[in-house]
A = this chain, B = another copy of it.
Amino acid sequence: MILLCNDDGFNADGLRALYHELSQEDDVIIVAPETEQSAMGHAITLSQPLKVRKVVEEGKFIGYAVNGTPADCVKLAIAVLLDEPPRLVVSGINLGGNLGICALYSGTVSAATEAMIMGVPSIAVSLDTYEDPDFSPAAKFIRKLIPTVMKKGLPQGVVLNVNVPPVPEAELAGVAITRQGKSRVVESFDKRADPRNNTYYWMAGEMRFDEVEDGADCVMVSKNYISVTPIHFDLTHYASIDEIKGWKL
């Protein structure tokens, strides 16, 4: 059985496209947030109870909606809701790329990370657009990718972060195995006053592409390649350990 999660919420089109594609040949269960949880990073819910709604559509059980974060959903699914551990977790298809530094803020990636922490192989998948999305090329790619991942096995501690360019299948240039690029969102804050003249701020921001080298996720997606980045969560910067030992703290 394959578990699907996302951060755009249970009813998001990207999740449903993935469900539709993968359920053609696999048992698939969705455990996903009741509402949108974008930019939740690896948040988990400790101070609120989690409620679970069983979802049946057209007479068919398709999964559970949870009033929590993407990481909550994966934890709860594997620890409680599912009868057996899934053989794979796929998180997505996210509306909007998770490229460069943005992967750190991504609830989509965090659901996949949580699965890895719990010992289940996982893939995060995002479509790099916010406009007029066609999720089907991304869904088809994941369907094709799964047997290879299951056969080869992911390296210990590694999650695949897949980003798909928003072009028709015929225009895809191929698949690139990439590194996480350095591009990031440069935030701006829109300052406003409420009706009682209190100041408040809306966070906005634009993606800044600082990266030009081939091999970076964002560069390859801009060239219409599907980007597959192996990511892991040992954050240690090993190269610095000896340097800092030299500080004699």
Which residues of chain A have a CB within 8 Å of any CB of chain B?
A: 36, 38-47, 49-52, 71-72, 75-76, 79-80, 101, 103-105, 110, 113, 117, 145, 148, 152, 155, 157-158, 160-161, 175, 177-180, 184, 187-189, 191-192, 198-203, 226, 228-241, 243-245, 247, 249
Contacts and interface: CB of A to CB of B under 8 A. Distances in A.
The A contact surface, by secondary structure, is mixed
Contacts of A191: 80
Contacts of A155: 237, 239-240, 243
A62 to B, nearest CB: 19
A181 to B, nearest CB: 9
Contacts of A198: 51
A203 B51 contact: no
Contacts of A157: 237
B241 A230 contact: yes
A249 B101 contact: no
Contacts of A46: 38-39, 203
Contacts of A233: 101, 104, 235
A143 B201 CA distance: 33
A222 to B, nearest CB: 18
A236 B228 CA distance: 11
Contacts of A36: 47
5 contacts: A41-B43, A104-B117, A155-B237, A155-B239, A233-B235
Contacts of A40: 41, 43
Nearest to A199: B52
Contacts of A202: 49-50
Contacts of A152: 247
Given A49-B192, A148-B247, A238 B179 contact: yes
Contact of A200 (B51, B75, B178, B231): B51
